[in-house]
Structure 1
Amino acid sequence: MIKNLIGGIAVGIANVIPGVSGGTMMVILGIFNRTMEAISGILKKENAHRKDDILFLFQVLLGAAIGLIGFAKILEFLFNHYPTQTMYWFIGLIALSIPLFLKGEMKGEKFKIIPLICGLAIIFALEFLNPGEGSVNVNPAFPTVDVMLCLTMIVVGMIGGATMLMPGVSGSMVLLIIGQYYLFKSYLANVTTFQLNVLIPLCFIGIGVLIGIALSAKVCDYFIKHYKAGFLSFILGLIIASSLVLIPFDATYDVFIIVTSLLAFVFGGVIVLGLGKLQ
């Protein structure tokens, strides 16, 4: 139980950092296959180990929730005081994860150029359709709770849940690009205030996470079995494009910002390469 809880905490922390893949963290910690088996087991009509599968997933998800909420506070501090440097830390995490992805997931697989281009195109299209979302808005006001917000939060949760299982893909990175990351992070950071305008959206995010996990398990299993090289090439395209669109071109640069941003970029790379050594 302790191992599963700690593994879930690590996955939760990974999912709140843009550029770090929760799925990759599962692979490194050795719980990826067990998680996929548990999800598949729960969805089966007949399963003699259903209780064990439910208990395992509960422990991992509880740990993930602890990691998400706890680390959101740290990120809020970083964005408030070092927004540009924090963005370059994320970029370092993403860019230097590419060699790790090539050595691990893509090992022995041939590149498929069309899926790679599709992955690139999706991220660039999201950035084009959301001009200005790359700017840092660290303290968004909580919107009024209505039907549209609840539906949006379900989609946000589905993205988080789906990408939680996909090695190489960061759900927070996708949320950052589509402009929902800072609101999502603020909800998590303020959950202990017990305000209804925070708790209600978080409940709908939770519903979305469960839906996303179930759908992602089915989709990943299908594409990995039938189109592994193409699927991984598509994911690689997402990662490459993400490291480019997050560059804060609108930031004000001076010598201090440039030097500290470079150090933050290198630090992000060191973390990813360290995970690669562990893997």
Structure 2
Amino acid sequence: MIKNLIGGIAVGIANVIPGVSGGTMMVILGIFNRMMEAISGVFQKDNDHRKEDILFLLQVLIGAAVGLIGFAKILEFLFNHYPTQTMYWFIGLIAFSIPLFLKGEMKGEKIKILPLVCGLAIIFGLEFLNPGEGSVEVNPSFPTVTLILCLKMILVGIIGGATMLMPGVSGSMVLLIIGEYYLFKSYLANVTSFQLDVLIPLCFIGIGVILGIILSAKVCGFFIKRYKAGFLSFILGLIIASSLVLIPFDASYDVMVVVSSLLALIFGGVIVLGLGKLQ
């Protein structure tokens, strides 16, 4: 139980950091296969271990919620005081994960050009359709709770839940590009305020997360079994493009910002390479 909770906390922290994949964290911690088995087992007609599967999923999800909420506070501080450096830390986490992805998930597989280009095109397309969304927006105001907002939060949760199981893909990175990351982070950071305009959207995000996990388990299982090289090449395209579109070109730079941003980028790389050694 303790191992599952700790693993869930690590996955939750990974999912709140743009560029870090919760799925990859599961692989590193050795709970990825068990997670996939548990999700499949819950929906099997004849499963003598359904209670154990449900208990395992609850333990991991509770741990993930603790990691998400706890680390959101730290990111709140970083974005308040070091927004540009924090963005370069994220970029370092993404860029340095590329060689690990090639040596790990892509080992023995040839890169397929068309899926790779599709992955690149999706991220660049999102950036083109949402100009300026990569800029830092600290502590956005909470919008009025409406039906449209609740439906949008379900979609945000689906993205977070789906990418939680997909090695190499960061849900927070996708939310950052489409412009929903900072609101999502602020909801998590302020959950202890018990405001209805925070709790209600978070409940709908939770519904989306559950739907996203189920959907991702089905989709990943299908494509990995039938089109492994192409599917992994597509994910590689997402990762490469993500390291480029998050560069804060509109930030104000001086010598100290440049040096500190470079150090932050290197620090992100050190973290990723350290996780690679652990794996």
- Please tell me the TM-score bracket, short chain as reference: over 0.9
Query: 1: distance between equivalents of 2:61 and 2:145?
Result: 25
**Number of equivalences:** 279
Match of 2:265 in 1: 265
Tell me the CA shift for residue 138 of structure 1: 1.1
> Which stretches in structure 1 are left out of the alignment for 5+ residues?
none
Determine the C-alpha separation between the residues in 2 that align with 1:73 and 1:256: 25
Structure 2 counterpart of 1:148: 148
SS of 1:111's equivalent in the other structure is: coil
Identity fraction in percent:
86
How far apart are 1:45 and its partner, in Å? 1.7
Q: Secondary structure at the match of 1:44?
A: coil
Aligned residue in 1 for 2:83 = 83
Task: Verify: 1:181 aligned to 2:162, yes or no.
Answer: no
- Residue of structure 2 equivalent to 1:245: 245
Deviation at 1:44, TM superposition (A): 1.2
Q: Over aligned residues, Cα RMSD in angstroms?
A: 0.3
State the match for 1:66 in structure 2.
66
Could you tell me how far apart the structure 1 residues matched to 2:164 and 2:134 are?
A: 22
CA deviation after TM superposition for structure 1 residue 209, in Å: 0.1
Aligned to 1:52: 52
Return the alpha-carbon distance in structure 2 between the equivalents of residues 43 and 187 of structure 1.
31
Structure 2, unpaired ranges of 5+:
none
Task: Give the drift of 1:67.
Answer: 0.2
Summarize deviations over 1:210-254 as a string: whole Å, max 9, x none: 000000000000000000000000000000000000000000000
1:43 and 1:23 map into 2 onto residues whose CA distance is 21
Map 1:3-22 → 2, pairs under 5 A: 3-22=3-22
| Aligned mates of 1:111, 1:135 — CA distance in 2 | 32
Matched, 1:130 2:130: yes
Map 1:221-232 onto structure 2 (within 5 A). Answer: 221-232=221-232
CA distance in 1, matches of 2:43, 2:98: 33
The AA in structure 2 aligned to 1:44 is Q
Letter matched to residue 50 of structure 2 = R
Deviation, 1:134, is 1.1
Partner residue in 2 for 1:275 = 275
What is residue 170 of structure 2 aligned with on the other side? 170
Q: Which amino acid counterpart does residue 259 of structure 2 have in structure 1? A: V
Corresponding residue SS for 1:151 = helix
Task: Give the alignment's TM-score, normalised by structure 1.
Answer: 1.00
AA aligned opposite 1:65: A
